[in-house]
Amino acid sequence: SARGIYIAIVSTKMEAGRPEEEIAPGLALLGNIIQRFTTVATTYEPNEDGSKDKCFISSSFDGTSHFEHDVADMLNLYKRITGEDLDMSINADSVEADY
């Protein structure tokens, strides 16, 4: 963005059905807003963890800007499917690429 111009994300899980009111405290912290986009999205979560029917389903993406919940959900999904934690200790610089 241009000097003195910032990009910000204000998000929440809607609780009362009034999105404008629910994000108002976050928007107030930003001061002057040049342009704003408001989106309301329905999110879904699986009813079961997949252990009974082997149907493993992830949750919907949420409103976090760095995908914290989504990464945790994918790691949880991996563990539910394989029974093991994903080994994230691999140094990508020391592994031959498959390309």
Question: How does residue 88 score in pLDDT terms, banded at 50, 70 and 90?
Answer: confident
Torsion sign (Cα): 73, 75, 77, 80: negative
Q: How confident is the model at residue 33 (pLDDT cuts 50, 70, 90)?
A: very high
Tell me the pTM: 0.63
**Dihedral angle, C-alpha 52, 42, 77, 97, nearest 10 °:** 140
pLDDT (tens digit per residue) in 45-85:
999 999 999 999 999 887 777 788 889 999 999 999 999 99
- Residue 69 CA to residue 17 CA, distance in Å, equals 22
Q: What is the pLDDT of residue 99?
A: 53
Q: Tokens standing for 77?
A: 């999904």
The angle formed by the CA atoms of residues 64, 56 and 74, to the nearest 5 degrees, is 30
Q: Is 22 exposed, middle or buried (0-12, 13-18, 19+ CB in 10 A)?
A: middle
pLDDT at 53: 94
pLDDT of residue 92: 73
